[in-house]
Structure formats: structure tokens, C-alpha cells
Amino acid sequence: MSKLIVQKFGGTSIANAWCIKNVAKRIISYKKKGYALVVVVSAPGDATDDLLKLAHSVTNDPTDRELDVLLSTGEQVSMALLSMALNDLGYQAISFTGAQVGIITDKSYTKARIININSRRIKEELKKKKIVIVAGFQGINLEQDITTLGRGGSDITAVALAKALGAKMCEIYTDVDGVYTADPRIAREARKIDRLSYDEMLELAFLGAQVMQSRSIEVAKKFNIKLCVRNSFSKKDGTIIHEEAKSMEEILVSGVAVNRSEAKITICDVPDKPGIAARIFREIASANINIDMIIQNVSHTGRTDISFTIEKTDLKKAVNIVKKMAKKIGAKNVLEDRDIAKVSVVGVGMRSHSGIAAAMFKALAQKGINIKMISTSEIKISCVINKKDAVKAVKAIHKVFELQKPTRTRKAK
Amino acid sequence: MSKLIVQKFGGTSIANAWCIKNVAKRIISYKKKGYALVVVVSAPGDATDDLLKLAHSVTNDPTDRELDVLLSTGEQVSMALLSMALNDLGYQAISFTGAQVGIITDKSYTKARIININSRRIKEELKKKKIVIVAGFQGINLEQDITTLGRGGSDITAVALAKALGAKMCEIYTDVDGVYTADPRIAREARKIDRLSYDEMLELAFLGAQVMQSRSIEVAKKFNIKLCVRNSFSKKDGTIIHEEAKSMEEILVSGVAVNRSEAKITICDVPDKPGIAARIFREIASANINIDMIIQNVSHTGRTDISFTIEKTDLKKAVNIVKKMAKKIGAKNVLEDRDIAKVSVVGVGMRSHSGIAAAMFKALAQKGINIKMISTSEIKISCVINKKDAVKAVKAIHKVFELQKPTRTRKAK
């Protein structure tokens, strides 16, 4: 299938009847150009949040298995409506749930990982020239139980299908024109980025640019599937994400990201013995909770504090685990902080230039913003700060790296 | 499984969080008595109508296959929420879609018939002492495509599961105390019936008493599954539906039903030749449209009029077919009438008593109500009248047969 494209439409792109018809017309414009099309859809608009509210109306602590049964209906509604809209315009379309197209996952309800895709049925329908619509975000485990892939899981469905079907391009449609140097709602001078490497996009996604889910970018990188993030309501080109190009070496900072969905846990006065940290984080990992940053201070007294950040949605679960552990290992008390934000700068060029971190810290200091945690990688620097300072921080960093200017004219800090 | 009960809860019984918790408590009261429980749920409240509205917001003529994909999400929401509510109260429950428990149907989207149930998974979970929740109204065909069983299809899911699992009792929960001698909203003096034969219930259901779907009663009769129609919001006994008892012979009329969901089509001036009617109705049947009453007048001129009634939802489709047929067979024109109602009296005793029809016609005549069509069977008499006369007709018939009185004290007309 050489002319196959996988297109993924997010919730805002199919929020209502008008949006769905708009998406149908865009799909048809590709069909007319001769492309074979597999379309992945999210739940419409706020459907997932509405379903979560429903669940919490009957219980404070919904069972994960049943939550997945419930949440998976959102995409099923979208896929049927989009298929109907295409049929209405005279095009053959057929919709499938994750279970129906054999998106086989592991057993981790609410955060399942795809282990295999049985693409037989999709290929059959593509051969019949049909437009194939697939529910994003969901799969089925080997016991035939419905699973979901976690927030943003529709992206991974799209990329995994592109891989399974041999598509070279995967378009991710959203309600913005592409990936920006910063969130335009925070920094009005932010510019759209034309091209990014997988690694840069990965850091940006991971760090809070909510355009794409990070696992899906990892998979795209692994199988070299070109991604295009673009706006379903405009004809503009979007942002291409692909292998690192040579010209990128000159760029220092590509963008600033902010993530306000994490919380910080601190375990105070932990005995500083080998294996203690490992025990704590093994317990947390076995509860399927992802840890982001970890900081352990140097110990002078034989005891130390360990801090780490996780998604706020996991906070309750994690605190329970950590409190039990604290008792066992003889730590003092456990603190939680929900009011944090993580601001990060990302850029491939960073790895061979010093001074980026210094410029970032200076920009924050000049605005009187206190840094609570720092973490760095080859292509990013992240600082945890007070949530209330997040907007101020993004603006200051955007300015100090001159991200509002076209790439070539920026000063290297 | 000797102590197995299948319980079905209709949309009004699980319309919101309060109702769902109420139903969960009722289920638990049975569990505590030692019953094994399989619970079938409909879509909550108006969910099915809301989904239909969504479909019609993107197209005037939704594809049947995609409509089933869409509508089947309603029950999936209910089953997950009820399962969560039971888990929340400390009971193990697990929910399944029609596809997951192998409710295999034929290919007729929107009106599929169950051809087999693979009860393996349900039996496994019952052995683990779990309460099994199953989505009503839906199944899967041999191509793994989602199908639905038509309006009221959750009843047939419940009865078919009772058969497949060997349950002797199937409880149908709704928002009324049982089956009444007439719709209490129309005739305030209507009484709840304690016991009915399958045949009487069948006629009542078919004739418009919206308590149970008629196909499900047929299946219950065939496999001798005792039914109990009762109120999910009260502890009252409900109406038992079972094999005909001897004592019933004395009853003449059990109840009055009214159906306002049908429409009438008349084909005028049809050549009165053998095979013409067969051709017309074969065409309609092959479009999967059910015909209720058929009237053909005696022909004096070599030409005749044929009238028949169908569900209003099928009217557009049927008129299109009939118009094409009318041209081919040389009939004159095709009339449609949406403003009809069918009132019926039902009773086992009727078959051995004359005078019931006469009493019914007289009651209508005294109120100046014109009869448009008549149809009779061993245990019912139906008259099609103007829709506007429906309430008046039910009241008059209820009165003439003294249905407000206890059975023994009624006069035989």
C-alpha cells in the first residue's frame, strides 16, 4: 500500500456535527487524490471527561476494568458518526472498535500497551476501497477484555497502525496549526515550528506541550514514521516531525514547554542506605505509576530527603504507597505538593553549547522565581517552580532565547 | 446452576446515579439470599434517543451498520456504571458487551436475531461468585460486526440468556408495578394483573402495552421460562407470566392495549390477480420491515384496495418500495396515514365466548368512534381508529368489560 496515509483526529476536531462534516470533507479531499486512508478518532470534545464524571457519580473509586469499558464508548460514538458522515457524502466508510481490528494490548487497564495489531480486517476493507475508521485509545487484551491506552492514547493507535500497515506518513490533526516555540495562550509572540526532530518533539511532548502523546513519538521514531501535526480547521502546513537533519545543529533552543499536571512528593529523613530508593521506586512502579523527576539531596547526617514528581491523577495512590514504605524503612514524614509547574527548554543544538542553563536560570531569577527542582538531559533543561509563576516563567524564557524571531536571526546565548 | 436468576433493568431503572445505586442494592439483596445473578441492562434513560439525535445531526439517513455501532454504546455505559456501583458496595461484578459474551446474531443490522450464545465466559465468572452484568440489545455477527436487536431488544437478551444458562426465572424490571388491564395513564381505574399466560402477554405486548417486547415473550414461552414484570423502585410482587393455568378459562378479557406507533399504507386500485399481494409483501419483507395488519377489500370490479400497517419508523422505506411496486403492477396511487391508533382487547377466555367483539364495537360506536380496520385472533380483537380517539376508546372499552373490578366479580359480556 504505497499511497496509504493514517490520519488521526483529536477530540476538538470532531466535537460536534459541524466539525465531523468538516473532517469528512478533508478526508474525501485525500481520497480524491488517490490515497488509501485509515482514520483514527478520539472521543468527541469533552466526552471522556463527561464519562469520568458519570463514573464518579456512582463511586469514588471506579474499578479500572470497568472504567475502560466505560471510557471506550467515547471513541465508538465518534467513529460511527464520522463513518455515517462519509457515507452521507457518497463515500464508502466502515468503522471498527479496537477489539474488532485486533489491537491486542497487555492487561494494564487504563494504561495498556499495544503488543500486537492484527491488520487483516483493515487490509480487506482497504482493498474494497473503503475508508477505514478506527477507534483510538482502546484495545483488547488476550482475555477479550476492553483496555484503554491512557490519555492521548489515540496518537499511539494512529502511529501503531501506520507501522502495522506500512504507511510512511501519519497526520495528527488538532485545533492548532502545529507545534509552537511556546504555548501561544501563554506567550503571544510564540511562533509555529516548521520542522522538528523526533527527540525534540519527544521532550516537548513529555514536558507538557499537549500536542502529541510522548509514547507515540517514541514509536514513530523507532519505525521512522514521518509525523505531521496540523490543524483540522485550516489548510496550513503544520509541523513535520522526522529524523534529525544536519541544519538543525545550528538551532539552540526550539521551544519552551510547561506542564502543570504533575505533583511532588517528598519523603523526609530517609536512612541513607543502599537499596532504599530502589525499594521505594519499585513499589511505585509495580502500581503502574510513572515517575518523572527524582531528586535526592546529598546526605551529611546519614539521613536524606527524596523528592519526586508524578502525574496528579496518581498522587493519592502514590502517597498511600509511600506512607506505608516510610514506616517500613523508618523515614519521618511524607509531604505532597500539588501546586507545582515544570518549565523546560528543548533543543537539539543544546548538547554542544554551554550557557543555555545559565541563561534560563538567570531569566527566572530576574523575575524572582524560585527553582525547586532541576533536571537536565542532552536536549532539555527542566525546572520545577511554583505553579503561580508558570506563565511569568514561560514568557521570560521565551524572550531570553528570542524564540519570537525566525531561527536564523536569533542570538546564541 | 439451580439458583440462577436473570434480571433485566430497563432504561428508567438506571436513568441516573441514584437509580443505579438503587438497582445495585436490589441485586445485592438477591446475592445475599444465595442466588447466582446475571443482570442485563438497557441504555440509561433517554440515551438511545440522544444517540439517534446525534446520528441525525450528521446525516438524514444513517447507515444501519454504523447506527448499530453507535447505539450499542448506550448499554455499554450502563453496564460499566452498574458494575462500578456493585464493586463500590463491596461486591465482585464484571460487565460484558454482547460481543464479549458471544451473543451471535444474524446480519440484519438494527433488527438482528440471536442465533447462538456462547455462555462459557459467563459461567466461568459465575463460578468465581461474580455478579455478571451483560449489555442488553446487542450482539455480534459472524463477521465480528456489532448488531442490535431492535427496540426492546434487552428483553430478548435477558430471556435468551436465561435459556442459555438454564435459569428458571427471568425478572423484567421497569418503572411500573407490572402489567395492567389498561395503560393507567389513560384509564385511571386500571388494575394490575397478577398472573397472565404467555399468549395473553404476547398479544398485549404486540398490541402496544410497552412493558415487554413481544419476541422475548415468544422465546420465554418456547422454553418455558417464567417471567416476572416488576417495579425496580418498589418491593411489590409484579405480574407473573407463565403457562396457561386452568383457572384462566373463566376470564374473558384480561386487558386493553393501545398502540400509536404504527402507520397505515393503502395501495389503491390494484389489479385483483393472483400473486399480486404476495409480490408486494415479499418486497417489503425482504427490506426487513414487519407488517402488522393487512386488509384487502372484496373486489367487484377486477380492481381492489390493499391496506396494511407497519411501524412508523419504517414508513418512509416502505412507501418508497410500495410506490415502485405500484408502478410495476399498474396500481393507481399510494396513500399513507400516520394518525392512527390500534386499540385491542386481549383474553384467553375469549376464544370460547362470542359477544366480545360485538361489545367492543358497540362501546366504540357509542362514543362516535369510527373503525378503520379490524383484525382478530383466538385471544384478541384489534381495531384501527383515528389517533385522536385513542384515549376515549381505551376508557370506553375498559368500562364495558368492567376491568376495574377484581376478576371474579366481572360480568361476562
Give me the residue from A59, A73, A95 closest to B88, CB to CB.
A59
Q: CB distance B73–A76 less than 8 Å?
A: yes
Query: What residues of chain B lie within 8 A of the CB of A62, using their CB?
Result: 84, 87
Return the CATH number at B43: 3.40.1160.10
A131: closest CA of chain B, how far (Å): 13
Residue B354: which residues within 8 A CB-CB, separation 6 or more?
none
Same domain, B154 and B57: yes
- Residues A145, B85: C-beta atoms closer than 8 Å: no
Q: B163 with B283, same domain? A: no
Predicted pLDDT of residue B298? 65
Collect all residues of chain B within an 8 Å Cβ-Cβ radius of residue A67.
Answer: 80, 84
**Nearest CA-CA distance, residue A17 and chain B, Å:** 5
* Distance (Å) from the alpha carbon of B302 to chain A's nearest alpha carbon: 44
Spatial strand order of the sheet with A103-105 comes to A114-117, A103-105, A138-140, A146-148
Asked if A81 has any chain B CB less than 8 Å from its own CB, the reply is yes
Residue B36 sits in the same domain as residue B159 = yes
Is B95 in Cβ contact with A66 (below 8 Å)? yes
B17 and A57 within 8 Å at the Cβ level: the answer is: yes
**Closest alpha carbon within chain B to A15:** B54
Give the pLDDT confidence score for residue A346 in this predicted structure: 87
Domains: count for chain A:
2
Q: Which of B54, B81, B145 sits opposite A58 (nearest CB)?
A: B81
The pTM is what?
Answer: 0.78
Q: How far is B289 from chain A (nearest CA, A)?
A: 22
Nearest to B17 among A58, A85, A99 (CB): A58
Give B-chain residues touching A94 at CB under 8 angstroms. Answer: 65
Task: Compute the nearest-CA separation of B281 from chain A (Å).
Answer: 29
Picking from A66, A79, A121 by the largest number of B CB atoms within 10 A of its own CB, the best residue to mutate is A66
Whether A95 contacts chain B with CB within 8 A = yes
Residues of chain A neighbouring B50 (CB-CB closer than 8 A): none
ipTM over 0.85: no
Name every chain A residue with its beta carbon within 8 A of the beta carbon of B70: 76-77, 80-81, 84
Does residue A157 sit in the same domain as residue A271? no
A87 contacts on B by Cβ (under 8 Å): 59, 62-63, 66
Chain B residue at shortest CA distance from A91: B63
Residue B207 located in a structural domain: no
A102 interfaces chain B, CB cutoff of 8 Å: no
Per-residue pLDDT reduced to its tens digit, B21-40: 999 999 999 999 999 999 99
Question: A29 touching B, CB under 8 A?
Answer: no
Q: Are residues A171 and A253 in the same domain?
A: no
Give the closest of A54, A80, A85 to B81, CB-based.
Answer: A54
Nearest to B85 among A51, A58, A95 (CB): A58
B192 is a domain residue = no
Q: Which of B115, B149, B175 is the last residue of a domain?
A: B175
B62/A84 touch (CB, cutoff 8 Å), yes or no: yes
Q: Is B66 on the interface with A (CB under 8 A)?
A: yes
In a domain, B11, yes or no: yes
Size of interface A-B (CB pairs under 8 A): 113
Strand B262-271, strand B303-311: pairing: antiparallel
Q: Average pLDDT of each block of 10 consecutive residues along chain B (413 residues)?
A: 87 95 97 96 93 96 96 97 98 97 94 93 96 97 95 92 94 90 85 88 71 84 93 92 66 84 91 80 85 75 85 92 90 92 83 74 90 81 92 93 77 51
By the CB < 8 Å criterion, does A72 face chain B? yes
Q: Check CB contact under 8 Å for B100 and A58.
A: no
Q: How far is residue A402's CA from residue B94's CA, in Å, rounded to a whole number?
A: 56
Q: Which of B153, B175, B197 is the last residue of a domain?
A: B175
Set of chain B residues whose Cβ sits within 8 Å of the Cβ of A84: 55, 58-59, 62-63, 66-67, 70
Let me know whether A406 and A269 are in one domain. Answer: yes
Euclidean distance between the first and final Cα of chain A, in Å?
A: 47
Question: What's the pLDDT tens digit per position in B293-328?
Answer: 887 776 667 788 888 999 998 999 999 999 998 998
The answer to the question of residue B183 being in a domain is no
One domain, residues A300 and A412: yes
At A367, which CATH number?
A: 3.30.2130.10
| Sheet arrangement for strand B138-140 | B114-117, B103-105, B138-140, B146-148
Residue A206, in any domain of the structure: no
In angstroms, what separates the C-alpha of B37 from chain A's closest C-alpha? 18
B59 touches chain A (CB under 8 A): yes
Distance CA B376, CA B390 (A): 18
- Of the candidates B55, B73, B144, which has its C-beta nearest A84's C-beta? B55
User: Nearest CA to CA, how far is B136 from chain A (Å)?
Assistant: 15
Q: Is B287 exposed, middle or buried (0-12, 13-18, 19+ CB in 10 A)?
A: exposed
- Candidates A52, A64, A67, A70: best to mutate against B (most CBs of B within 10 A) is A70
Q: Which residue of A has its CA nearest to B81?
A: A55
B8 in the Ramachandran plot: left (φ > 0), alpha (ψ -120 to 50) or beta?
beta
B131 phi and psi angles, rounded to 5 deg: -85, 125
Q: At what angle do helices A64-88 and B47-58 cross, to 10 degrees?
A: 30
Q: Are residues A170 and A272 in the same domain?
A: no
Residues in chain B: 413
Q: How high is the pLDDT of residue B409?
A: 63
Domain range for B87 is 4-175
Q: Are residues B18 and B153 in the same domain?
A: yes
Residue B151 lies in a domain: yes
Q: Residue A87: what pLDDT?
A: 97
Please report, in tens digits, the pLDDT of each residue of chain A (413 residues total). Answer: 559 999 999 999 999 999 999 999 999 999 999 999 999 999 998 899 999 999 999 999 999 999 999 999 999 999 999 999 999 999 999 999 999 999 999 999 999 999 999 999 999 999 999 999 999 999 999 999 999 998 789 999 999 999 999 998 999 999 888 888 888 888 888 888 898 888 888 887 766 566 787 888 888 998 999 999 999 999 999 999 998 755 544 567 888 988 898 999 999 888 877 778 778 888 888 888 888 888 777 666 778 888 899 999 899 999 999 999 899 888 888 999 999 999 998 887 676 666 788 888 889 989 999 888 888 777 788 889 999 999 999 999 999 988 888 765 665 44
Nearest of B51, B46, B95 to residue B73 by alpha carbon: B51
Min Cα–Cα distance to chain B from A67, Å: 7
Which residue(s) pair with A116 in the sheet?
A104
Q: What is the pLDDT of residue A349?
A: 66
Which of A175, A207, A235 is the last residue before a domain boundary?
Answer: A175
Q: How many angstroms separate the CA of residue A151 from the nearest CA in chain B?
A: 19
Does the CB of B62 have a partner CB in chain A at under 8 Å? Answer: yes
Q: Are residues A253 and A396 in the same domain?
A: yes
Using an 8 Å CB-CB cutoff, list chain B residues near A102: none
Give A60's contacts in chain B (Cβ within 8 Å). Answer: 88
Q: SS3 for chain B, per residue?
A: CCCEEEEEECHHHHCCHHHHHHHHHHHHHHHHCCCEEEEEECCCCCHHHHHHHHHHHHCCCCCHHHHHHHHHHHHHHHHHHHHHHHHHCCCCEEEECCCCCCEEECCCCCCCCEEEECCHHHHHHHHCCCEEEEECCEEECCCCCEEECCCCHHHHHHHHHHHHHCCCEEEEEECCCCCECCCCCCCCCCCECCEEEHHHHHHHHHCCCCCCCHHHHHHHHHCCCEEEEEECCCCCCCEEEECCCHHHHHCCCCEEEEECCEEEEEEEEEECCCCHHHHHHHHHHHCCCCEEEEEECCCCCCEEEEEEEEEHHHHHHHHHHHHHHHHHHCCCCEEEECCEEEEEEECHHHHHCCCHHHHHHHHHHHCCCCCCEEEEECCEEEEEEEHHHHHHHHHHHHHHCCCCCCHHHCCCC
* A252 domain-assigned: yes
Contact A16 B57 (CB under 8 A): yes
Least CA distance to A81: which residue of chain B?
B55
In a domain, A44, yes or no: yes
Asked if B162 and B26 sit in the same domain, the reply is yes
B106 lies in the same domain as B255: no
Residue B381 distance to chain A (closest CA, Å): 42
CB-based contact, B94 to chain A, within 8 Å: yes
Whether A77 and B21 lie within 8 Å, measured CB to CB = no
User: B267 at the A interface (CB within 8 A)?
Assistant: no
Report the gap between the CA of A60 and the closest CA in chain B (Å). Answer: 8
